[in-house]
Protein backbone atom coordinates (compact mmCIF):
# COMPACT_ATOMS: atom_id res chain seq x y z
CA UNK A 1 0.00 0.00 0.00
CA UNK A 2 1.18 3.52 -0.76
CA UNK A 3 -0.06 6.97 0.15
CA UNK A 4 -0.51 8.99 -3.02
CA UNK A 5 -1.27 12.71 -3.14
CA UNK A 6 -3.23 14.12 -6.07
CA UNK A 7 -2.93 17.90 -6.28
CA UNK A 8 -5.75 19.61 -8.12
CA UNK A 9 -5.18 22.64 -10.35
CA UNK A 10 -7.03 24.81 -7.78
CA UNK A 11 -4.42 23.93 -5.16
CA UNK A 12 -6.47 21.46 -3.11
CA UNK A 13 -5.02 18.03 -2.41
CA UNK A 14 -6.60 14.60 -2.16
CA UNK A 15 -4.52 12.02 -0.31
CA UNK A 16 -5.49 8.38 -0.65
CA UNK A 17 -4.08 4.96 0.19
CA UNK A 18 -3.74 2.84 -2.92
CA UNK A 19 -3.20 -0.91 -2.81
CA UNK A 20 -1.14 -3.01 -5.18
CA UNK A 21 -1.82 -4.23 -7.86
CA UNK A 22 -3.57 -0.97 -8.74
CA UNK A 23 -1.93 1.84 -10.65
CA UNK A 24 -1.78 5.52 -9.78
CA UNK A 25 -4.55 5.95 -12.38
CA UNK A 26 -6.81 3.35 -10.78
CA UNK A 27 -6.15 4.85 -7.37
CA UNK A 28 -7.68 8.07 -8.67
CA UNK A 29 -10.64 6.31 -10.28
CA UNK A 30 -11.45 4.24 -7.19
CA UNK A 31 -11.55 7.43 -5.15
CA UNK A 32 -13.46 9.39 -7.81
CA UNK A 33 -10.81 12.05 -8.12
CA UNK A 34 -12.01 14.52 -10.75
CA UNK A 35 -9.30 15.11 -13.31
CA UNK A 36 -8.35 11.57 -14.31
CA UNK A 37 -10.46 10.21 -17.17
CA UNK A 38 -8.56 7.10 -18.31
CA UNK A 39 -10.94 6.37 -21.15
CA UNK A 40 -9.01 3.35 -22.40
CA UNK A 41 -9.06 1.72 -18.99
CA UNK A 42 -5.31 1.74 -18.55
CA UNK A 43 -3.95 0.31 -21.79
CA UNK A 44 -1.87 3.36 -22.75
CA UNK A 45 -4.09 4.25 -25.70
CA UNK A 46 -5.75 7.50 -24.78
CA UNK A 47 -3.52 9.82 -22.75
CA UNK A 48 -6.40 10.95 -20.51
CA UNK A 49 -4.75 9.90 -17.25
CA UNK A 50 -1.88 12.35 -17.69
CA UNK A 51 -0.20 13.63 -14.50
CA UNK A 52 2.79 15.81 -13.67
CA UNK A 53 5.01 14.17 -11.08
CA UNK A 54 5.90 16.72 -8.41
CA UNK A 55 9.33 18.22 -9.10
CA UNK A 56 10.37 17.76 -5.47
CA UNK A 57 9.43 14.09 -5.48
CA UNK A 58 12.22 11.62 -4.83
CA UNK A 59 9.97 8.58 -5.14
CA UNK A 60 11.53 6.11 -7.62
CA UNK A 61 9.37 5.55 -10.69
CA UNK A 62 9.61 2.90 -13.40
CA UNK A 63 11.21 4.15 -16.61
CA UNK A 64 8.96 5.28 -19.46
CA UNK A 65 8.61 2.92 -22.41
CA UNK A 66 8.29 4.09 -26.00
CA UNK A 67 4.50 3.68 -26.14
CA UNK A 68 3.97 5.87 -23.08
CA UNK A 69 6.42 8.37 -24.52
CA UNK A 70 4.45 8.43 -27.80
CA UNK A 71 1.04 8.74 -26.15
CA UNK A 72 2.27 11.71 -24.12
CA UNK A 73 2.59 13.69 -27.38
CA UNK A 74 -1.19 13.99 -27.41
CA UNK A 75 -2.10 15.17 -23.93
CA UNK A 76 -4.68 17.93 -23.65
CA UNK A 77 -2.39 20.01 -21.41
CA UNK A 78 1.22 20.64 -22.38
CA UNK A 79 3.66 17.84 -21.90
CA UNK A 80 6.53 18.60 -19.51
CA UNK A 81 9.62 16.74 -18.39
CA UNK A 82 7.59 15.61 -15.38
CA UNK A 83 4.69 14.21 -17.47
CA UNK A 84 3.66 10.59 -17.02
CA UNK A 85 0.65 8.41 -17.80
CA UNK A 86 -0.67 7.43 -14.39
CA UNK A 87 -1.87 4.09 -15.80
CA UNK A 88 1.77 3.18 -16.37
CA UNK A 89 2.72 3.70 -12.72
CA UNK A 90 1.99 0.51 -10.79
CA UNK A 91 1.62 1.02 -7.07
CA UNK A 92 4.32 -0.56 -4.92
CA UNK A 93 5.52 0.16 -1.40
CA UNK A 94 8.24 2.25 -3.02
CA UNK A 95 5.64 4.70 -4.36
CA UNK A 96 4.60 5.68 -0.83
CA UNK A 97 4.58 9.47 -0.61
CA UNK A 98 4.25 10.11 -4.34
CA UNK A 99 2.79 13.51 -5.20
CA UNK A 100 1.27 14.12 -8.61
CA UNK A 101 -0.27 17.28 -10.07
CA UNK A 102 -3.44 16.92 -12.12
CA UNK A 103 -3.56 18.89 -15.37
CA UNK A 104 -6.32 21.43 -16.05
CA UNK A 105 -7.92 19.14 -18.62
CA UNK A 106 -7.57 15.61 -19.98
CA UNK A 107 -9.54 15.76 -23.21
Partner 1 sequence: MAARGVVVIGAGQGGLDTVATLRAKGYGGPVTLVGEEPVLPYQRPPLSKGFLTGATGHDELTLRTESFFAAQDIAVVRGDRAERIELDVQRVRLASGGTLRYDKLVLATGSRPRTLPVPGMDLSGVLTLRSLADAEALRGLLSGPPRQVVVLGAGFVGLETAATARGLGHDVTVVEAQRRVLARALTPQMSDWLAGRHRRQGVGLLLGAEVTALHGTPAGEVAAVQLLDGRRLPADLVIVGVGALPETRLATEAGLLVGDGVIVDQWLRTDDRSVYAIGDCARFPSAAHGRHIRLESVQNASDQARCVAAAICGESAPYTAVPWFWSEQYALRLQMAGLTAGHDETVTVGDPDGARFSVLCFRQGRLTGAESVGRPADHAIARRLLSSGTGPSPAEARTPGFDLKSFVIKPSSPAPAHA
The minimum distance between CB 24 and partner 1, in angstroms, equals 15
Q: Site map for partner 1, 79-98, x if CB under 8 A?
A: xxxxx---------------
Give the span between the Cα atoms of 87 and 90, in whole angstroms. 7
Q: By rule CB under 8 A, what count of residues binds partner 1? A: 37
The H-or-E segment that residue 30 falls in is helix 24-30
Binder of partner 1 out of 34, 62, 94, 97 (CB under 8 A): 34
* Strand-by-strand arrangement of the 13-18 sheet: 13-18, 2-7, 98-101, 50-53, 83-85
Give SS3 for 21.
Answer: coil
Using CB under 8 A, list all residues that contact partner 1.
Answer: 7, 9, 29-34, 37, 39-41, 43-47, 52, 54-55, 67, 69-76, 78-83, 101, 107
Amino acid sequence: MAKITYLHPNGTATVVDVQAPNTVMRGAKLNNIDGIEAQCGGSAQCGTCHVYVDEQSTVPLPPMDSVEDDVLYGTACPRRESSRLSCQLPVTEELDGLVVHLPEAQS
